[in-house]
Structures are given as structure tokens and as C-alpha cells.
Chains A and B, each alone.
Chain A
Amino acid sequence: MSISVLKHKMINGPDRTIDDLDRNIIIATQGGLPLVPKPYEALAKQLNTTADEVMSRMQWMVDFGVIRRIAAVPNHYALGYKKNGMTVWDVPDENISDLGKKVGQLPFVSHCYHRPRYLPEWPYNLFAMVHGKSQDEVDQQIAEIKAVLGEHCKQHSVLFSKRILKKTGLRLKT
């Protein structure tokens, strides 16, 4: 994905930023893409523009990472991934870039970030999300991360999700 290239540098594209029509496209699609044969034309009618205009603007948003991708987001519980753990690790700050990249490369890790500690109650600075269909599967994944971190890991914890309380994605104020 091109986001890492853009990170911290470019907000929006090189030659333009989000304007009112882009914003209206975002508002019209943040709940989902219309489920009709010509969805971009349907959006265009709603926004009083042309399908070509909507498509070129959405393509621009994809190219510059404003849209990560146009895709389905599954409810992972429904697919059987009932053990979803946020694994958190206390590793030395000087090693975290190196260790984070290694953990991020493990095939079962969906997100991996360096985040701040809140000492003394929150000593963890490396976050890696894991997902499995059974406790055994997730235990195995956690053991693999532990092995990658080796002696650099001072302590760790796993916060399993109990309930999805909200999952709407981004919402702009209308």
C-alpha cells in the first residue's frame, strides 16, 4: 500500500486538496457504496454531477490514500474468528522499529504499531493485533511473537475483545 510513502508528507494529492464535491462524495459513501448496477452514476445523480467526475475523484482519492480501498469489511465473528486479541508488549524504545517490523511481517498480524506508554499503569509500547478461530490458535500466535521479541520483551499482555461496541468507520459531520 502506498500510504507509508505518503505518511507525514503529503496530505491529499500533490496538486490539490479535498474540495466540497470530494467532501460530498465522502459523505454520500461513508455508509457504503450504493448497491445498484451503476453505483457511481447513482452517486452522480444524487450530487448533481456526472459519473465520470465521481469516478475520477474517487480514483484520485484511492491514488493518494484518502481511500485505503473500496472493499467489504467482514464481521470477523461471523467468519469464525472469535478470538481477537490486542497483544501489547514492553520493549526497549531503541529496538522498537526493528522489532515492530519483524512482528508486523508475521502472517497472522493484522495491525502493528508503536504507541506511547503511560507509566506506571501502562508499560506497553508495541501493539500487534492477532485473530484466530480458537484459543489454541491465538496462543500459538502469541508464542510466535514472543519468540521474535526474545529477550527484548520485558513484559506483555493480551487484551481479548469481548464485544464490538461500535463499528461504523469514519463519519464526517454533515
Chain B
Amino acid sequence: MPALTNLSRRTELATLSDIDRALINRLQDGFPICEQPYQIVAEELGLDEPDLIERIQQLLDDNVLTRFGPMYHAGQMGGAFSLAAMRIPCERFDEMVKVVNQFPEIAHNYEREHELNMWFVIATETPEGVADVIGQIESATGYRVYNMPKEEEFYVNLRFKA
């Protein structure tokens, strides 16, 4: 369970070498499925395999990368996901973050500058799961959850050039 201490993820700019930048860009594009995939990527970048693995570990430790691995799509697994928002009074915000984040179905959660100040993605294994989790969050917090599932997806491609 991520503790609140993990919550203040680094927000300052990292100092990155050109190699790390190239590595971050490369790793966002997809990773091979083969016996020694790190070897393949290392060769592409002109590194050796142990160096590549160590660099990825370091970028994760430094919180430059938040994760590295398969990005699962709850909808294609037969489940569902949705974006939802809540309006939480400032003085209760941190307390309510803990309550909401406790749910393993909360995949991402952001504080945003708006009256609706908490925005999170719910990912569940079953289609009915989203409504169940919303009901549980509303009872646990006492605040309304605005469910905003997508009605149509126009574009998704989140990549950041390092």
C-alpha cells in the first residue's frame, strides 16, 4: 500500500545524461519479448547489458521513472476503468487521500486546481467493479464521487520526450 510519504513524489527536475535521455525515450516506445530483451535494447543504445539494467534501476530509484513493465488495459482484460472526481474540503484533503488511495482499484490519483480537486482513475477486473468501488468510496468518505467514464476515445498516446 503506498504510504502518504510516497505521495510527495519528486517534483523537481532531474539532471540526466544524454544516455539516460535516450534510454528513457527508447523505453517509452515498447520493450521486446525475447529471451534477453535488455541485451537487445542495450545494443541499440551502444551500452552493455549490465549497465543498461543498472541505469533502469537507478532511474526507478530516483523516481525519474515511475514504473517499467507491461501497461495493462483493464477494459481489454474484461474489466473496466473510469475517471472520477471529488470535491473535498481543503482541511480534510490529506485525510481523504489516504482513504481513497487505500482502494487497490485506484490506479492514479491527482490533486487538481479546481473545486473538483481530486481526480482519479478506477480500474477494476469486472465491468460492475467501477460502480461498486464508487459506492464504497462514497460511504468511506461521505463525499460524492462524480463518475466520468469515457463515451468516446479520440486519442491516447502519452509519451514524454526526455
Q: Which residues of chain A have a CB within 8 Å of any CB of chain B?
A: 1, 3-4, 6-7, 11-12, 17-18, 26, 29-33, 35-41, 51, 55, 58-59, 61-62, 64-82, 86, 96-97, 100-101, 103-105, 109-116, 118, 121-122, 127, 129, 131, 157, 159-173
Contacts and interface: CB of A to CB of B under 8 A. Distances in A.
A104 B156 CA distance: 8
Contacts of B75: 7
Contacts of B97: 165
A-B residue pairs, 10 tightest by C-beta: A104-B155, A72-B27, A104-B154, A100-B154, A165-B109, A32-B69, A33-B69, A166-B109, A112-B154, A70-B31
A168 B119 contact: no
Interface residues of B, number: 85
Contacts of B62: 78
A115 B73 contact: no
Interface of B: 2, 7-14, 16, 24, 27-31, 33-39, 49, 53, 56-57, 59-60, 62-78, 81, 83, 97, 100-101, 104-116, 118-120, 123, 125, 146, 148-162
Given A58-B33, A104-B154, A74 B8 contact: no
A78 to B, nearest CB: 4
Given A70-B71, A168-B2, A169-B107, A1 B10 contact: no
